[in-house]
Structure 1
Amino acid sequence: MTGTEIWQLSATELATHTRNGDITAKAAVEASLSRMAAVNPALNAVVEDLRGEALERAHALDQARNNGTTPGPLHGIPVTIKINVDQNGHATSNGVTALKDLIAPGDAPVVKNLQDAGAVIIGRTNTPEFSFRADTDNPLFGRTHNPWGRHISPGGSSGGAGAAVMAGIGALAHGNDIGGSLRFPAAANGAVTVKPGLGRVPAWNPSQSAERGMLAQNMSVQGLITRSARDLHLSMPSLIAADPRDPFHVPMPWRGASPDGPIRVAFSKETYGYDLHPEVDAALEDARAALGDAGYLVEETKLPDVFDAGRTGYRALMGEVYALMKGDVDAAGSQTVRDIFAVYFEEFPPFAGAELLQMMAKRTQYARDWSLFMQDYPLVLTPFLPQPFFKPDRDTEGATGVHEVLGCAVYSYAMNFIGLPAASVPSRLAQLPAGPQPTNIQIAAPRWREDMAVDACIAIEDRIGPMCDPLWAQMATKL
């Protein structure tokens, strides 16, 4: 098997070969490092190359296996880590120049869990300043580009992760999500992800000097971006391993009970006043048809008010950000990010004082409404964005730009506010004037049932196909 073939394998395929001994950890890592050397200069997705450490670890894994150690579930799988999460001995810069020398004194739980499972970290991926944009650019490392073309943003804030994994740099990419930062890059690059629910994946940065705000704690989650939906079933059980440093982590198994009979899926095209683009409409219909063909019962129905939950949740988050984070943004952020935050506060007027506390309390009402609704419809199929993914720097273009990028993404941050899992999977390769562009949809699931959302993604992917093959064919003509 050649190096080119190895980097193209899904994590699930690669893990089968590495665990069986058909491919060494070193060969798997070398293939990804070669791919990174070939494509990353044009993408700037990985901003810290860890090839030296990666090759040493791969060699150690191979030696241990030869000495009789049972390989882990992710044995030799090349992965990337986002630069806003602690990795021992490396800077947790968060895309901020002032933090470029903030060296982590230890590993965050997700880094430990991936390595305990046998994964090999080959690099650290880019994020916007403070990890608070749906696009990825910063003064410290520069812009990340989308492998589909420079007319499409790579998404954010895990934009480096999404671009890297879809370009073939590593089989798994770590990211995180407070309002869509796993799902935006998945949608931008045609990748697959599931935003875990509240309490699912342990989180903490040993480098942090203070605890995050309560909404940040309750809305932000750690996860993975993959090329194949099945790779989430392979990798997420390792990611959710318990860690005592997160006292609110809930050690639930990855798989829940199989439902009795066909699974009912609530389907909605409601966009709350935003225009639904024909290609997004077609992507939704393709996903509905795929799920129906797989035996799901898909029914168009009215959902609990996503717009109210999403907008209330993001205005509450902006209230917390204004009180706890604005000073840091003003002091250490670029003029670009300061201007963007100013427009955020216009798009989502921050709640403050007693009203902020009341809106935080209202979160339980929204969560209860969804919990009751999901007794009848365990899965919910909706748009992620109402239009094809936006161009780079769209959020720097004032109120209309931020409105297009975040204002319309209520299906995204509503799920963060109420703490539900939400998966993103491509269901159509749109043919737009600028070129082909993946179009993802969102599938929400009940608490603790990320596995159900991933199963639905697999059903769609099996019938529509993954986006990596057409992407790699397009990239091959440009390299």
Structure 2
Amino acid sequence: MASTPLWQLCATELGGLIQSGQVSAVEAVQSSIDRMHAVNPDLNAVVTDLSESALTRARALDAAKGPKGPLHGVPVTIKINIDQKGEASSNGVVALKDLVAPGDAPLVKNLLDAGAVVIGRTNVPEFSRRCETDNPLFGQTWNPWGRHVSAGGSSGGAGSAVAAGIGALAHGNDIGGSLRFPAAGNGVVTVKPGVGRVPVFNPSAGAERGILAQQMSAQGLLARSARDLHLSMPAMIAPDARDPFHVPLPWRGPALEGPIKVGFSLESPDLPLHPQVEKALLAAKAALTDAGYAVEEIAPPSLKEIQFEGRSALMTESFALMAEDIAKYGSPAIASVFEENYRRTPTVEMKRMMELLAHRTFFARQWSVLMDEYPLFLSPFYPLPFYKPGRDAEGAEGLRETMGQGHWSTLGNYLGLPAGNVPAALGQFPEGPKPIGVQILGRRWREDLVVDAMIAIEDRLGTLSARLWERMREKVPA
């Protein structure tokens, strides 16, 4: 352990060394900062460097009497669409570059209260509305595996950063897959919490979000090890009075009698499941079976219908509330993606919108009944090898192969269920290696069960970090 650079350690390992006094907060933070300065110029994952304030905070933590919390001294990053006092919440939009936050969002406060140290803020697409991370304010974020594969979006900066070793944890958010796309593309792990689990509020916001966006969006963390989510997510879900709909439940729910039943499906409604994705899913299934789970192949209820109705409702709300700002402040690239989205999924009239929102409860009930028997559900996340950079902006076919394949990701958001993504393989392709992630949906309020299952998979299939860093070493010395 002593010979391992501190930036390579996962949050659990690094936090343990800091808590025991073997490593100082300053040493931990400086190592991550050094790594950021070494690799970020090539990646453009972190677009606001907070090295100076991070080291000031780390020195204060070292001088404090006893640990501040479970993340004492652990370096983290925050996505630039969430308020951090004194920093711009630009959301990748040039017109918002000076929108300085007057205070911390609840999740930032919660991480700081737990002792975390913010070393930088990570990139997003414009308005956080693409599954590719690029904008005219900060430019393109690249995947540390290479420029043949996208870093994903909208938390692509976060996924690229944590995979490359810039911080042990990276904050991100997810309204249709924006935590899980970057987890899959960069080969890291995440859990999208269910609705209401992490308190949400941006002090800089000029208006409340649409009600469906409130119901579908979630705040979370990306990490290199699934165990880090058990360490960090209990801090993230601490209550905050500024979110009146926060659900104040503990992170750990009651133990279930084993073996825990897991639903399993290889269903891919639009494009055929790629053989290497299928192989990764079968490896994850075998890992869970070996760990004592009872995995059973079953048909997922209403998968295509949930994708279609969920996208229709969200696109209708988004068009009503965002189209004017995108037309006024957005670049031609985001305007084109936005327009193509609406050609693919046209808006609906008010009566139809009300019918869609009402029918959402029918879908939620279907899955609630299923997950009463099967508390977990293992499935594909993305049916193909991860897409190339900019694919979502390549017209109708590009959108079909990116956002259009979000059947499994939309399900988690539209129904408000927790959903994790964990690497299950490193696919080999002529253009270069690509991580392959699988998704685990969980029973409502049981993010802990999702993380337990991802740990079981990770324990048997391993993580991808060492292989990535060996690949990166050819460009940047460790």
Category of TM-score, reference length = shorter chain:
over 0.9
| Cα distance in 2 for residues equivalent to 1:265 and 1:75 | 35
Deviation at 1:478, TM superposition (A): 2.1
| Cα distance in 2 for residues equivalent to 1:170 and 1:2 | 18
| Cα distance in 2 for residues equivalent to 1:181 and 1:38 | 26
Match of 2:23 in 1: 23
1:87-144 superposed Cα distances (whole Å, 9 cap, x missing partner): 0000000000000000000000010000000000000000000001001000000000
Alignment of 1:284-323 (within 5 A): 284-323=281-320
| Cα distance in 1 for residues equivalent to 2:67 and 2:433 | 44
SS at match of 1:471: helix
Asked whether the 8 Å contact 1:213–1:320 carries over to 2, the reply is yes
Asked whether the 8 Å contact 2:87–2:100 carries over to 1, the reply is yes
Match of 1:78 in 2: 75
- Could you say what the CA RMSD is over the residues aligned between the two structures, in angstroms? 0.9
| Cα distance in 2 for residues equivalent to 1:431 and 1:11 | 29
Match of 1:125 in 2: 122
Unaligned runs of 5+ in 1: none
SS at match of 2:296: strand
| Cα distance in 2 for residues equivalent to 1:70 and 1:270 | 47
Does residue 155 (structure 1) correspond to residue 152 (structure 2)? The answer is yes
Match of 1:177 in 2: 174
Q: What is the TM-score of this pair, normalised by structure 1? A: 0.98
- Out of 421, 424, 429, the position equivalent to 1:424 is 421
Match of 1:446 in 2: 443
Asked whether the 8 Å contact 1:3–1:27 carries over to 2, the reply is no
Asked whether the 8 Å contact 2:270–2:405 carries over to 1, the reply is no
Unaligned runs of 5+ in 2: none
- Out of 165, 181, 188, the position equivalent to 1:191 is 188
Asked whether the 8 Å contact 1:311–1:414 carries over to 2, the reply is no
Does residue 362 (structure 1) correspond to residue 359 (structure 2)? The answer is yes
Match of 2:52 in 1: 52
Matched residue pairs, number? 476
Runs of 4+ with deviation above 3 angstroms? 1-4
SS at match of 1:322: helix
Asked whether the 8 Å contact 1:3–1:31 carries over to 2, the reply is no
1:321-348 superposed Cα distances (whole Å, 9 cap, x missing partner): 1111000000000001000000000122
| Cα distance in 1 for residues equivalent to 2:402 and 2:7 | 32
1:149-200 superposed Cα distances (whole Å, 9 cap, x missing partner): 0010000000000000000000000000000000000000000000000010
| Cα distance in 2 for residues equivalent to 1:310 and 1:252 | 29
Match of 1:271 in 2: 268
Asked whether the 8 Å contact 2:67–2:115 carries over to 1, the reply is no
Deviation at 1:230, TM superposition (A): 0.3
Q: What is the TM-score of this pair, normalised by structure 2? A: 0.99
Does residue 41 (structure 1) correspond to residue 41 (structure 2)? The answer is yes
Alignment of 1:126-275 (within 5 A): 126-275=123-272
Asked whether the 8 Å contact 1:310–1:415 carries over to 2, the reply is no
1:343-365 superposed Cα distances (whole Å, 9 cap, x missing partner): 00012222231101110111111
Match of 1:283 in 2: 280
| Cα distance in 1 for residues equivalent to 2:50 and 2:132 | 24
| Cα distance in 1 for residues equivalent to 2:226 and 2:406 | 23
Asked whether the 8 Å contact 2:150–2:185 carries over to 1, the reply is yes
| Amino acid of the structure 2 residue aligned with 1:185 | P
Deviation at 1:273, TM superposition (A): 3.4
